[in-house]
Amino acid sequence: MFISIKNTFIPAVAVSLLLLACGKTSVSIDDRTYEPKIVLNAYIYPNRPVSDIQITRNFAIGQEIDKNQIALSEAEVILTDVGSGNHYSLIYDPDQGSFQYPGSDLTIIYGGTYRLQVTANIDGHVLHASSVTTVPDEGLKIDLEKSVYGDLYYRQTDESGQLISPRVNYMQSANAAFFLLS
């Protein structure tokens, strides 16, 4: 009987002390923790126009938010082709609520590196944000020679009576770390 109490009492006390030593279980978030920040949401695609670049801001918790103040329409937004050193100023499109490049002299290329730089005034503070990305090399193509595709019918069989299943083989991009397929 003594061994049973000893085996349950000591672990119960140890767990209780461990839980009591954890400290506060809540975090106080108020206006003192708020810092204005620029939020960048951008995707660029090879051989397509640069558009739908969303530049927004954060707000303090509990602050009333005016939807017309979320997008930083007055921000200075510059896309730089790091390889050539060329700078391209993006303009705000109020109909889309995002930035775009209006010219035709910017071509996003496979393997190219690009820097997005933003300067904006938020709550009286001039803030800067930037992001650099490299477009992956061209790749992830369907290997037509090793794929079974075309018109296939339900439970279609080959000459030997085996079911034919659609099969798609891909040629991967040399420098891509992962692929998303749906």
pLDDT in tens, 52-75: 999 999 998 888 998 888 999 999
Q: Which residues on adjacent β-strands are paired with residue 78?
A: 89, 117
Does 9 have pLDDT greater than 80? no
Looking at per-residue pLDDT, the higher value among 106 and 153 belongs to: 106
Residue 109 pLDDT: 96
The answer to whether the Cα torsion of 76, 77, 81, 82 is positive or negative is positive
Mean pLDDT of 149-175: 78
Residue 172 pLDDT: 74
Per-domain boundaries in the chain:
33-134, 140-175
Does 14 have pLDDT greater than 80? no
Residue 40 pLDDT: 97
pTM of the predicted structure, to 2 decimals: 0.65
CATH number of 33-134: 2.60.40
Mean pLDDT of 77-82: 98
Mean pLDDT of 24-51: 86
Q: How far is 1 from 14, CA to CA, in rounded Å? A: 20
Mean pLDDT of the chain: 85
Sheet with 86-93, strands from edge to edge, namely 98-100, 86-93, 76-81, 113-122, 125-134
